[in-house]
């Protein structure tokens, strides 16, 4: 089993954007989802983010797992569990159109309670479901179209220190080595009769049984670190500013400014919609249910 | 041995160990997310959470913070899940908080009392660290979920799992580290 990043090289419009552009655009869209509570506006935003996602031309077989995770969170956790059991309409909503009710339940100290889910609560739940979906449509292109070995220099160009950016770069380069050491350890422990999959032992024993895998890999990885420290210090690491050889390849171009500009425009429009029109605050079509 | 004057240093040594910690946490998260463990369908199994806690205690809170934050990013990159920035911050806190043990007088992990403090720090880090994404970011910043729902579906399951994993495995890692140091003369 090889530890490989999910980066998919390509030449799509999104591939050719600077990594900083993709992160900034994702952040601006994230803020946009928070500003409004109107399901119509969020559906439109979700449509725009799907267009952005489509421009990356990512194959479904590579991204279905990520979509499954966020869909589970959006539909099951937010939609079914949270909205149904805990959801409440915003305080200024005065209407209540019942959707369904749970059977009455008698609780100690609370007496008999009956939870009724209204259409107003359901619309609020739909708004909340759309937020992580829209954000994921912006994040996945970053993950799959950005070479991980550009993360360090991208974060450096964001203003992070040389040390932090270099540590991130070094961490990514350590990944294949540590993955290889882990699977060697698994084989070595199995040869000694170790069984991770032994059944019927309870959670605490299962955690303790993971120690023969985690402990040797961790100690071995750290033990090798001291030599790397000495090698870096012998090469005067940290004495002066570091030169990043990939820095020249990271330059904002016209397409980057276009994407950042459009994302910022969306945020500004949403703020204006929220504060000056009826299209930003929570919307509920009461007339549909009369 | 940690002391308060050098606790927040981030020099060459800290950079290298932060990188190792992040790579370790990322790879182990990816492995344990993808290994099928018979009989564990209903149990979330997160033993790697002890790695940033261990790194924070041994190498300082900044190394723990980096290991947790970027380790979670790397784990998600390897799994192809995308970024969940609030949970990356929460995992960073899982590494930072145990690194603050010198402020309660635990400079080095040697005695049974020190190992107990390390286990307690792991439990505290789990509940406080996971509180950021579950109780602050999701309900109030990202506005995905009600607070009551966040407590029952996110905070309690995640922090209890991390607390049990951290309380058991962090002292084991510290014990193994002390044994290695004694043998190698470090």
pLDDT in tens, B165-178: 999 999 999 999 99
Same structural domain for residues A41 and A142?
yes
Residue burial A5-14, b: 16+ Cβ < 10 Å; e: rest: bbbbeeeebb
Same structural domain for residues A132 and A73?
yes
For residue B42, what pLDDT is reported?
Answer: 38
For residue A234, the chain B residue with the least C-alpha distance is B12
Q: Touching check for B86 and chain A: CB below 8 Å? A: no
Residue A277 lies in a domain: yes
Same structural domain for residues A35 and A158?
no
Same structural domain for residues A24 and A119?
yes
Average pLDDT over residues A10-18: 93
Number of structural domains in chain A: 2
Q: Within 10 A of A106 (CB to CB), how many other CB atoms are there?
A: 8
Same structural domain for residues A28 and A141?
yes
**Whether B145 and A217 lie within 8 Å, measured CB to CB:** no
Q: Nearest Cβ partner of B83 from A85, A139, A229?
A: A139
For residue A270, what pLDDT is reported?
Answer: 94
Half-sphere exposure of residue A68, counting CA atoms within 13 Å on the CB side? 8
**Whether B24 and A218 lie within 8 Å, measured CB to CB:** yes
Residue A288 lies in a domain: no
Same structural domain for residues A33 and A116?
yes
Same structural domain for residues A123 and A262?
yes
Higher pLDDT, A95 or A16: A16
Place of tokens 């040697």: B110
Residue A259 lies in a domain: yes
Give CATH for domain B12-184: 1.10.1760.20
Q: Is the pLDDT of residue B6 over 70?
A: yes
pLDDT tens track for A172-183: 989 999 999 999
Residue A200 backbone class (left: φ over 0; alpha: ψ -120 to 50; beta: rest): left
Q: Is the pLDDT of residue A3 over 50?
A: yes
For residue A131, what pLDDT is reported?
Answer: 92
Same structural domain for residues A120 and A161?
no
What is the domain partition of chain B in residue ranges? 12-184
Mutate to test the interface with B, among A75, A167, A203 (most CBs of B within 10 A): A167
Same structural domain for residues A126 and A270?
yes
Place of tokens 């869209």: A29
Same structural domain for residues A236 and A263?
no
Contacts of the segment B37-41: beta carbons below 8 A, 24+ positions apart: B37/A196, B37/A197, B37/A206, B38/A197, B38/A199, B39/A199, B39/A200, B40/A206
Q: Touching check for B80 and chain A: CB below 8 Å? A: yes
List Cα–Cα distances, A258 to A16, A143, A150, A253, in angstroms: 13, 20, 21, 9
Note down the domain range covering A104. 19-146+253-283
pLDDT tens track for B102-122: 999 898 899 999 999 999 999
Q: Nearest Cβ partner of A178 from B12, B24, B146?
A: B24
For residue A210, the chain B residue with the least C-alpha distance is B47
Higher pLDDT, A58 or A198: A58
Which residues in A lie closer than 8 A to residue B40 (C-beta atoms)?
Answer: 206
Higher pLDDT, A17 or B4: A17
Which residues in A lie closer than 8 A to residue B71 (C-beta atoms)?
Answer: 171
Same structural domain for residues A241 and A262?
no
Higher pLDDT, A7 or A249: A7
What ipTM was assigned to the predicted interfaces of this complex? 0.90
pLDDT tens track for B34-78: 654 444 443 457 899 999 999 999 999 999 999 999 999 999 888
Residue A3 lies in a domain: no
H helical segments located in B49-146: 50-59, 61-79, 85-96, 112-131
Q: Is the pLDDT of residue A210 over 90?
A: no
**3-state secondary structure (DSSP) of residue A112:** strand
List Cα–Cα distances, A254 to A17, A80, A248, A258, in angstroms: 10, 43, 16, 6
List Cα–Cα distances, A20 to A32, A42, A262, B84, in angstroms: 18, 25, 15, 17
Residue A62 lies in a domain: yes
Interface of A with B in 168-207 (CB under 8 A): 168-172, 174-175, 177-179, 182, 196-197, 199-200, 203-204, 206-207
């Amino acid at each position: 089993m090889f530890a490989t990043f999910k980066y998919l090289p390509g030449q799509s419009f999104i591939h050719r954007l600077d990594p900083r552009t993709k992160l900034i655009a994702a952040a601006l869209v994230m803020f946009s989802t928070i500003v409004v509570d109107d399901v119509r506006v969020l559906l439109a935003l979700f449509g725009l983010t799907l267009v952005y996602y489509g421009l990356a031309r990512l194959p479904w077989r590579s991204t279905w797992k990520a979509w499954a995770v966020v869909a589970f969170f959006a539909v099951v956790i937010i939609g079914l569990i949270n909205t149904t059991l805990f959801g409440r309409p915003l305080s200024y909503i005065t209407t209540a159109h019942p959707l369904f009710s749970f059977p009455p339940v008698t609780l100690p100290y609370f007496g008999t309670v009956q939870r009724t889910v209204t259409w107003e609560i359901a619309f609020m739940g739909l708004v909340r479901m759309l937020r992580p979906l829209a954000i994921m449509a912006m994040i996945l292109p970053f993950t799959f179209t950005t070479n991980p070995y550009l993360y360090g220099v991208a974060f450096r160009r964001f203003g992070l220190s040389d040390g932090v950016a270099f540590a991130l770069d070094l961490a990514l380069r350590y990944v294949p080595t540590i993955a290889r050491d882990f699977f060697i350890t698994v084989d070595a422990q199995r040869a000694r009769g170790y069984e991770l999959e032994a059944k019927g032992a309870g959670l605490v024993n299962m955690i303790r049984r993971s120690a023969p895998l985690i402990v040797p890999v961790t100690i071995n990885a750290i033990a090798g670190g001291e030599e790397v420290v000495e090698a870096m210090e012998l090469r005067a690491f940290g004495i002066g500013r570091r030169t990043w050889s990939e820095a020249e390849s990271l330059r904002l171009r016209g397409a980057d400014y276009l994407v950042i500009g459009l994302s910022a425009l969306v945020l500004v429009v949403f703020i204006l919609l929220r504060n000056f029109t009826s299209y930003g605050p929570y919307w509920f079509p009461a007339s549909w249910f009369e | 041995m940690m002391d308060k004057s050098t606790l927040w240093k981030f020099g060459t040594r800290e950079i290298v160990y932060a990188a190792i910690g992040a790579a370790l946490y990322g790879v182990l998260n990816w492995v344990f997310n993808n290994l099928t463990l018979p009989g564990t369908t209903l149990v979330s199994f997160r033993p790697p959470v002890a790695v940033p806690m261990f790194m924070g205690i041994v190498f300082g809170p900044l190394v723990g913070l980096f290991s947790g934050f970027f380790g979670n990013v790397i784990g998600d990159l390897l799994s192809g899940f995308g970024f969940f920035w609030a949970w990356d911050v929460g995992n960073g806190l899982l590494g930072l908080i145990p690194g603050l043990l010198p402020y309660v007088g635990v400079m080095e992990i040697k005695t049974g009392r020190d190992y107990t403090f390390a286990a307690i720090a792991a439990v505290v880090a789990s509940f406080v660290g996971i509180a950021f994404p579950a109780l602050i970011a999701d309900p109030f910043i990202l506005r995905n979920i009600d607070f009551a729902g966040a407590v029952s579906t996110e905070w309690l399951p995640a922090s209890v799992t991390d607390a049990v994993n951290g309380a058991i495995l962090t002292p084991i890692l510290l014990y193994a580290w002390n044994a290695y140091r004694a043998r190698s003369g470090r």
